[in-house]
Every structure is written in structure tokens, then in C-alpha cells.
């Protein structure tokens, strides 16, 4: 295994959670096209039909599951990318070693 895998990563300390004022400021600055506002606007329509409310909840759940799946797949892809880079470096090193061994054998054969 490469030396990269053996290094211990020191994580920075967690920041303090935002204050109520900071949260409110963040909400005020969010654009109207923010996905949360779009979902809230859809769910707070004037007197929605009973079936419509269930559809809306099902759609929100579907969107949440889709987002969750995307995040998981993104993490898996990043991990696979790191693994491929490590394997590529190992293969390059093995190629260099193989070339050196071939050169050594050729020199001994002469």
C-alpha cells in the first residue's frame, strides 16, 4: 500500500453553529429560485385538493431520495477516483521496475 494510505489525517475543529441572526440573514439573501423556497411554495398553495397534498409529499420524498442518492454516488465516485489514481501510480512504478529488470537481464545475457 502506498504511503498516502498510512498518513493520519488531522481534522480541523468544528466551527460554531450559526446564530439565529446569521440564519435569518442567510434566508433573506437566498434567491427566490432556491430549491427550498420552490418546494415550500408548491406545498403551501391555497386550499390544495387532498390528493394533491399527498402527491406533493410524495414528490418531496422522491426529490429527497434523489438528492440523497446523488450525494452517495458522488462520494463513491470520488473514492473510486482516488483509488484509480493510486493504482495508476502503482502501475507506473511497476512499469519502471519491469523496464529496469529487463535492462538488467539484457546486460547479463550479453
Is 13 part of a structural domain of the chain?
no
CA distance 60 to 53: 11
Cell of 60: 418531496
Question: What is the pLDDT averaged over residues 49-71?
Answer: 81
Q: Is residue 9 in some structural domain? A: no
Number of domains observed in the structure of the chain: 1
- Confirm whether 11 is domain-assigned: no
Taking 50 as the threshold, does the pLDDT of residue 47 lie above it?
A: no
Does some domain include residue 95? yes
In a domain, 5, yes or no: no
Residue 63: inside a domain, yes or no? yes
Whether pLDDT at 85 is above 60? yes
The domain in which residue 68 lies consists of 18-109
Residue 51 lies in a domain: yes
72 vs 65: CA distance, rounded Å: 10
Per-residue pLDDT, 70? 92
Residue 2, in any domain of the structure: no
Of 101, 83, 103, which Cα lies nearest the Cα of 1? 83
pLDDT, average across residues 26-35: 83
Amino acid at each position: 500500500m502506498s504511503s498516502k494510505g498510512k498518513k493520519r489525517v488531522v481534522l480541523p475543529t468544528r466551527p460554531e453553529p450559526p446564530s439565529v441572526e446569521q440564519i435569518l440573514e442567510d434566508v433573506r439573501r437566498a434567491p427566490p429560485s432556491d430549491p427550498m423556497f420552490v418546494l415550500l411554495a408548491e406545498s403551501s398553495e391555497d386550499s390544495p385538493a387532498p390528493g394533491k397534498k399527498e402527491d406533493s409529499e410524495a414528490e418531496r420524498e422522491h426529490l429527497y431520495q434523489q438528492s440523497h442518492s446523488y450525494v452517495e454516488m458522488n462520494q463513491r465516485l470520488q473514492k473510486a477516483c482516488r483509488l484509480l489514481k493510486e493504482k495508476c501510480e502503482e502501475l507506473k512504478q511497476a512499469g519502471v521496475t519491469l523496464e529496469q529488470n529487463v535492462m538488467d537481464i539484457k546486460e547479463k545475457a550479453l
